[in-house]
Structure 1
Amino acid sequence: MRPAAAAAAVVTVGAGLGLRAVAAGSVAKYGGDALYTVLLVALVVLVAPRWTPLRAAGTALAASWAIELFQLSSLPAELSRHSVAARLVLGSTFNAPDLFWYVVGAAGGWLLHTAMVAERRPEAPPAGDSPHTGRAPRGSL
């Protein structure tokens, strides 16, 4: 799961940069907000690959909201004036609609993570064909 999460993080950063290159205004702003939370979901999965999709997405959403609410203080704006990294991670000014777009990103991250988990889950044997019964699976010799 970690290699997929790392790849998802790289693709998400690329998507964010691509969005900024081809779009402007609210499409770029709010699309970037959603992708920010998708990136956080990927990073959570990278650090905690056994977490459920809901837990990973919920953690990413909580972090996104916490950072946005932190912008109600003057500290993120001050740090952003002195550091590009702080500006990218913390932002600078509170914007209430961002809270909604973080939900959109968390939902998208949850859907992607759920699909990846389902794809990796082994298919269950048909009922009655347990390896513990000693019976061969149906259709085999």
Structure 2
Amino acid sequence: MLRTDWTRRLLALAAAIAVLAIALLIRALADGPLEQHSGTALYASMIYAGVFVLRPRTTPLVAGAAAIAFCWLVELSQLTGVPAYLSEHSLLARLARGVAYDPLDMLWYPAGVLPLVAVHLLMLARLVVRPGP
């Protein structure tokens, strides 16, 4: 494995930890819709970062699509009642899988991922276009 793969993984892990810290801070300070929707968007952005922890050479577009698809799959699974049952018995399951389906979450997941994809693509473009000394 290349050294840059480990660097990418560490950066993605640091980004995920930073997003988690922001989510917890918002949860501690905010109330109502801001708390709910920002948590949903930040959850999706953590999944985006997680893709790079698992597969550091993934392109931003593929990582974005994978993160949104994963979040949508988790949200749709809440229609089965299984996540609600698991959440009754585990705080970790509640945090990871949620409890009840919320159609608004289907919109907030892309809101958490698409800005990251755009910034990531801009950063990569600057690296490619950056003029020499």
TM-score range, shorter chain: 0.7 to 0.9
2:10 aligned with 1:3: yes
User: Which residue number corresponds to residue 38 of structure 2?
Assistant: 31
In terms of fraction of residues, the more helix-rich structure is: 2
Determine which of 17, 21, 27 is the counterpart of 1:20.
27
Residue aligned with 1:72, SS:
helix
User: Which residue number corresponds to residue 106 of structure 1?
Assistant: 113
User: Which residue number corresponds to residue 133 of structure 1?
Assistant: none
The code of the aligned residue for 1:47 comes to: L
Aligned pairs for 1:16-95 (under 5 A) are: 16-95=23-102
Quote how far apart the aligned CAs of 1:115 are: 4.0
User: Which residue number corresponds to residue 117 of structure 1?
Assistant: 124
User: Which residue number corresponds to residue 5 of structure 2?
Assistant: none
Q: Deviations over 1:47-102 (max 9, x none)?
A: 11111101001100000000000000110000000000100000010000000000
Structure 1 gap segments, 5+ residues each: 126-138
Larger Rg: 1
Measured in 2, the distance between the counterparts of 1:86 and 1:23 equals: 23
The code of the aligned residue for 2:110 comes to: V
Measured in 2, the distance between the counterparts of 1:92 and 1:61 equals: 18
Residue aligned with 2:104, SS:
helix
TM-score normalised by length of structure 2:
0.87
Is the contact made by 1:34 and 1:101 (CA closer than 8 Å) also made in structure 2? Answer: yes
**Cα gap change, 1:9 to 1:47, in 2 (>3 Å):** same
Structure 2 gap segments, 5+ residues each: 1-7
Q: Deviations over 1:16-40 (max 9, x none)?
A: 0011011110001000000000000
Deviates more, 1:104-113 or 1:116-125: 116-125
**Cα gap change, 1:8 to 1:120, in 2 (>3 Å):** farther
- Structure 1 segments of 4+ aligned residues over 2 angstroms from their partners: 111-125
* Count of aligned pairs between the two proteins: 126
Q: Percent identity?
A: 37
Quote how far apart the aligned CAs of 1:120 are: 4.8
Residue aligned with 1:68, SS:
helix
TM-score normalised by length of structure 1:
0.82
